[in-house]
Amino acid sequence: MWGRRLLSSPLSPGRCRAYRARAALAQLSHVLEAELESIRGAGTWKSERVITSKQGPHIHVEGSRGGILNFCANNYLGLSSHPEVIRSGLEALEKFGAGLSSVRFICGTQNIHKNLEEKISRFHQREDAILYASCFDANAGIFEALLTPEDAVLSDELNHASIIDGIRLCKANKYRYKHMDMQDLEAKLQAAQKHRLRLVATDGAFSMDGDIAPLKEICSLAQKYQALVFIDECHATGFLGPNGRGTDELLGVMDQVDIVNSTLGKALGGAAGGYTTGPKALIDLLRQRSRPYLFSNSLPPAVVGCASKALDLLMESNAIAQSMVAKTRRFRSKMAAAGFSISGNDHPICPVMLGEARLASVMADDMLERGIYVIGFSYPVVPKGKARIRVQISAVHSEDDIDRCVEAFTEVGRKHGALP
């Protein structure tokens, strides 16, 4: 039909272009539908629940009646809706405007950005710091700027996707060591001796398992083989260690970890933003070379205001950082007593190990029916046969909230045969 029409009445150049554009769109739609169907078929479709209130331990979720107890945010210290954090964000918005309409080096640096960078480096006891729009960007921007084909990067196999992507972008020689396996790291360090610089990269705390990198051992291997140490502290900054400085403080190696990347989007107010903190020369180089910093807008003032206040609160006293330790222990010990297996060590990420993907998914749905919001994770996010429900404790959960969560787990676990 089309062929006949084309022969009998040739299309004008304009109609020909429109026809090709429609054909390209039809082809794209065909490819996308097949891809989407394969995601659905694999059972890995991620849907989003819509929250209609502030982030916090008690939220409202579209489609659910009444309040919901929230156990799946990275709001470890409850600062996302802390009145002083919100006020500070509002003040910065009023005084410094909605945003800079610019990248930092053109016309996008305000005194609040410089003050926040100074505060971050003081908090971590490092020489300098640089802000990014997210920690994903900080991870995307560091390896390529720092490492050349003469160098090597050694990365834990379970590192966060943003570290993996950042490493993919750099031209250094890549070594992947088995998760937290120090023998394997040592073997890889030996193999990497031939390169100019060696950088060991690890999450401080791993978000799927709630386990903590053995930084003491990593640092001593780094010393032995003259390597640098980089940690991603997204799930540690603000609450691990006696003063909430992170995994390096917890394990007594603040002076041996060279570079820290972290987020302002989890414990530190939860708005957005990330940073690198470390030696001044490194930060100077990142300001010159790091692509997500150079080619992306400055952090909005309201975000800077919120994070800055969160850091003030943490530097004034360690009470907030410490307030969640007891709650995490309460949840972990009560769940273990009920017969559940919780992975990780003393971290507020408490993965309830269930094994089967379907079990994790139906239990999470049943928990929501009981007013408790938790999320099931299964393959490919976690290894096959290691499906789990990840529970995250916050300093602002009350003991009663935690006990309600344990009771609901016990009921739902019995109902689905996860408990005797």
* Phi/psi of residue 129, nearest 5 degrees: -150, 155
Using CA atoms, how far residue 159 sits from 57, 95, 173, 232, 327, in Å, is 28, 39, 17, 9, 27
Q: Does 134 bind ligand PLP (CB under 6 A)?
A: yes
Q: Give me the least distance between CB of 419 and ligand PLP, in Å please.
A: 30
Q: Which of 160, 188, 327, 347 binds ligand PLP (CB under 6 A)?
A: 160
* Nearest 10 degrees: Cα torsion 46, 50, 54, 59: -90
Q: Which of 56, 141, 244, 265 binds ligand PLP (CB under 6 A)?
A: 265
Q: Does 136 bind ligand PLP (CB under 6 A)?
A: yes
- CA-wise closest residue to 239 among 74, 59, 54: 74
For residues 261 and 410, which CB has a smaller minimum distance to ligand PLP in the complex?
A: 261
Q: Does 247 bind ligand PLP (CB under 6 A)?
A: no
Q: Which residues of 216-238 are buried (b: 16+ CB within 10 A; e: fewer)?
A: eebbebbeebebbbbbbbbbbbb
For residues 126 and 160, which CB has a smaller minimum distance to ligand PLP in the complex?
A: 160
Query: Looking at the annotation, which residues are catalytic?
Result: 207, 235, 266
Q: Which of 81, 263, 378, 394 binds ligand PLP (CB under 6 A)?
A: 263
Q: Does 277 bind ligand PLP (CB under 6 A)?
A: no
Residues in CB range of 78: below 8 A, 6 or more apart: 56, 57, 394, 395, 396
Q: Does 135 bind ligand PLP (CB under 6 A)?
A: yes
Q: Give me the least distance between CB of 339 and ligand PLP, in Å please.
A: 29
Q: Does 85 bind ligand PLP (CB under 6 A)?
A: no
Sheet holding 349-355, edge to edge: 349-355, 387-392, 375-377
Name the residue with the smallest CB distance to ligand PLP: 134
Q: Does 59 bind ligand PLP (CB under 6 A)?
A: no
Exposed, middle or buried by CB within 10 Å (0-12, 13-18, 19+), for 114?
exposed
Q: Give me the least distance between CB of 314 and ligand PLP, in Å please.
A: 17
For residues 19 and 295, which CB has a smaller minimum distance to ligand PLP in the complex?
A: 295
Handedness of CA 391, 124, 315, 134 (dihedral sign): negative
Where do contacts with ligand PLP occur on this chain (CB under 6 A)? 134-136, 139, 160, 162, 203, 207, 232, 234-235, 263, 265, 274
